[in-house]
Every structure is written in C-alpha cells, then in structure tokens.
Amino acid sequence: MNVDIKTTIQEEDGKVIAFLEGRFDTVASSVVEKALAPLFECKDKEIILDCSGLTYIASAGLRLFLSVLKSAQGNGSQVFIRGINDHLRTVFAMTGFINIFKFI
C-alpha cells in the first residue's frame, strides 16, 4: 500500500493547523484519519485545514473533512480551509462542500 500524503498538526496562536501535502486518495484516508485524530478532541478552538500542499482529494477525504467539521461544531470549535488550488476548489464546488466549509 503506497500512501502519498503527509499530515502535520501544529498549534499557532491558539489555532490548530493541520497541514496536508500530497494526494488524499481512498488508500490514504485511514492514515490521514489517524493523523487527524487530535482534531476530534479540540474544544473551543479554531481549526485550519491547510491544503496548500494538497494536489488531489477523493470522496473519502471529503468525508473525513466533513467528520472533522461535525465534531468541531459539537465541541464549540470552528473549521476553516485554506490554500486550496483551482482543481480542489472545483471538486468542493461540484460536491456542494464549497457551501458547507469556510475558506480563508
């Protein structure tokens, strides 16, 4: 199983930032889900999903983003997505996710 994605979480100025780099395909989803597990514990935080290094996202990736959003809302946190390229923006628009998430 070849996973071509890197996920890093950092805290900056009270915000939790998850940096995603590479291809977020179906094979990578279980690896990314484990890496993003700390986001499900964030209470009253601003969570930023930084996609500036992301080249591709599959439906499994979108579902995981949605899970992070739902969990965050239940914990009083907010989720923002930043750094998506034109291809990812098209995917978010076609799926309606462009209306669900906040982009910075």
Cβ neighbour number for residue 93 with a 10 Å cutoff: 11
Q: Per-residue pLDDT for 8 more than 70?
A: yes
Reported pTM: 0.95
For 58-85, what is the mean pLDDT? 97
Instruction: Encode pLDDT of 82-94 as tens digits.
Output: 999 999 999 999 9
Q: What is the fold of 5-103?
A: Transcription Regulator spoIIAA (3.30.750)
Q: Residue 50: enclosing H or E segment and its boundaries?
A: strand 46-57
15: helix, coil or strand?
strand
Averaged pLDDT score across all residues of the chain: 96
Cβ atoms of 63 and 28 within 8 Å: the answer is no
Q: What's the confidence (pLDDT) of residue 63? A: 97
